[in-house]
């Protein structure tokens, strides 16, 4: 399983600069989580690594191999697979078709991997002939994860897999993620639910408006007061700006 290294990554949409000179490391077989409030740029970062947004400067290295600037299809072929925040499933196609399409670049091992995915998510096996859009939110998330696994990822990236899910389903999915990590997969998990993510992860980074502000092993991060500050504020001093509004 490889190591992911981001070196001084800068990227954004159109003219907006969202990520500014960010560097991070995910060691082989680690589960690293990136935390932060909404709007911090976590999704943008993952989209950049997955090749959906161009990286303006900096490098993306997988086991030392420079992957910067490659289009998404070639990144998937090299084992960099993203489960996006909105899942991006093919609603009018069946569950099984969605899964098989996930294995598009791994046609040789596709049948075996499919069996594996069905054993991880038995409910998908049950619903294999159903149209993807008829699945519940939790089932769709499982399908998105299953589809990603069909590509035999070496680096798996997950963008807020827990959003909008009932706690019970969330736990089921996170259990699968935990299992994958135990089997040695390198995983980058972006989450808003800090406590849940830190309970799984080896290490965590905290992002605030395009930059990393905190880093450390999960055990110490969990109790760090700066973590709640990142979510609930307290860093910038607005006092002077406020006062000025009431003068004159």
Partner 1 sequence: MTHSISNKQAALLAACGVFLVAALLAGVLPPYYLTLLVTVGITALAASGLALLLSSGQVSLGHAAYMGIGAYGSAILARDHGFPTPVALLAGVAAAAFAALVVGSVTRGLKGHFLPLATLAVGIATPTALIGASSVTGGASGFGQIPALAIGPLDLSSERSLAILVWLLVAIAAGGLARFQSSRMGRAVAALNASEQMAQVVGIDTPRLKLSIFVIAAALAGLAGGLYAFYFRFVSPSPFSLPASINLLIACILGGAASPFGAVLGAIAVMAIEIFLQDVLARKLGLPGHVEMVVFGAVLIGVLLKWPGGIWSALARFWPSFTALKPNADAGGAELTPSAAERHKPHLLQLSGIGKSFGGLQALADVTFSVGAREIVGLIGPNGAGKSTTFDIATGLTQPTAGQVHLDGLALPAKLSQLVELGVARTFQHVKLVPNLSVIENVALGAYRQGSSGMLAGMAGLDRDEEAATFALAWRALGIVELEALASVPASLLTMGQARLVEVARAIVSRPRLLLLDEPAAGLRTGEKLKLVGLLHRLRRSGTAVLIVEHDMDLVMNCVDRLIVLNRGRDLARGTPDEVRADPQVIAAYLGT
Partner 2 sequence: METALFLLVDGITSGAVYGLVALSLIIVYTVTRVVNIAQGEYVMLGALSFASTLQGVFQPLCMPVAGALAAFVVVDLLNRHTGRAAKLRLLATRAAWIAGVLAINYAAYRSTGSYWLAALASVATTASLGPIVHRVSVEPAPNASQIVLLIVSVGVYMVLHGTAAMLWGTEPRSVPPVADGGVAIGPVFVTYQSLCICLLSLTAMVVLYLFSERTLVGQALQAVAINRVGAQLCGIPVRWAGQLSFAVGAAFSAFSGLLLAPLVTANYEMGFVVGLKGFVGAALGGIVEYPTALIGVGLVGTIESFAAFHASALRDLIVYLLVIPILLWRNAMKPPQDHGH
Per partner kind, with CB cut-offs from 5 to 8 A, the member of partner 1, partner 2, none near residue 18 is: partner 1
Check residue 61 for interaction with partner 2 (CB under 8 A). Answer: no
The two tokens of residue 21 are 């000179």
Closest distance of CB 93 from partner 1, Å:
19
What is the C-alpha R_g of the chain? Answer: 19
Tokens 């307290």 belong to residue: 234
Per partner kind, with CB cut-offs from 5 to 8 A, the member of partner 1, partner 2, none near residue 22 is: none
Check residue 48 for interaction with partner 2 (CB under 8 A). Answer: no
Q: Which one of 8-16, 81-89, 171-179, 233-241 is the stretch in contact with partner 2 (CB under 8 A)?
A: 81-89
The two tokens of residue 26 are 């995910």
Characterize 17-45 residue by residue with b for buried, 16 or more Cβ atoms within 10 angstroms of its Cβ, and e for exposed. Answer: ebbbebebebeebbbbbbbbbeebbbbbb
The residues that touch partner 1, with contacts defined as CB under 8 A, are 15-18, 37-39, 137, 160, 163-164, 192-197, 209, 227-228, 231-236, 238, 240-242, 244-246
User: Which runs of E-coded beta strand occur in the chain?
Assistant: 4-13, 16-26, 31-35, 55-62, 65-66, 80-83, 155-159, 186-191, 203-208, 211-217
**C-alpha dist (Å) from residue 212 to 21, 74, 145:** 10, 28, 26
Question: Can you tell me which of 93, 120, 131, 163 binds partner 2, judged by CB under 8 A?
Answer: 93
**CA-to-CA distance for 196 and 104, rounded, in angstroms?**
32
Per partner kind, with CB cut-offs from 5 to 8 A, the member of partner 2, partner 1, none near residue 160 is: partner 1
Q: Which one of 24-32, 77-85, 170-178, 237-245 is the stretch in contact with partner 2 (CB under 8 A)?
A: 77-85
Residues contributing to the site for partner 2 (CB under 8 A): 50-52, 71-73, 76-77, 81-82, 84, 88-93, 97, 100-102, 104-105, 107, 147-148, 151
């Amino acid at each position: 399983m490889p190591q992911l290294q981001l070196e001084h990554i800068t990227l954004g949409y159109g003219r907006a600069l969202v990520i500014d000179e960010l560097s991070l490391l995910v060691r082989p077989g680690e589960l690293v989580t990136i935390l932060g409030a909404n709007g911090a740029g976590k999704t943008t970062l993952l989209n950049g690594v997955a090749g959906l947004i161009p990286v303006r400067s900096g490098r993306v290295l997988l086991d030392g191999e420079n992957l910067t600037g490659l289009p998404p299809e070639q990144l998937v072929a090299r084992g960099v697979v993203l489960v996006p925040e909105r899942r991006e499933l093919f609603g009018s196609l069946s569950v099984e078709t969605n899964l098989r399409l996930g294995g598009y670049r791994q046609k040789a091992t596709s049948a075996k991997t499919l069996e594996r995915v069905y054993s991880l998510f038995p409910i998908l096996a049950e619903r294999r002939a159903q149209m993807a859009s008829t699945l519940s939110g939790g089932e769709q998330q499982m399908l998105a994860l299953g589809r990603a696994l069909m590509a035999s990822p070496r680096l798996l990236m997950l963008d807020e897999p827990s959003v909008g899910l009932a706690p019970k389903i969330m736990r089921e999915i996170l259990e699968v993620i935990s299992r994958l990590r135990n089997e040695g997969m390198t995983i980058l998990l972006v989450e808003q639910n800090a406590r849940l993510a830190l309970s799984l992860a080896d290490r965590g980074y905290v992002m605030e408006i395009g930059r990393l502000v905190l880093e450390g092993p999960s055990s110490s991060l969990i109790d760090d007061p700066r973590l709640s500050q990142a979510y609930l504020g307290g860093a910038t001093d607005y006092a002077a700006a406020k006062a000025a509004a009431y003068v004159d």
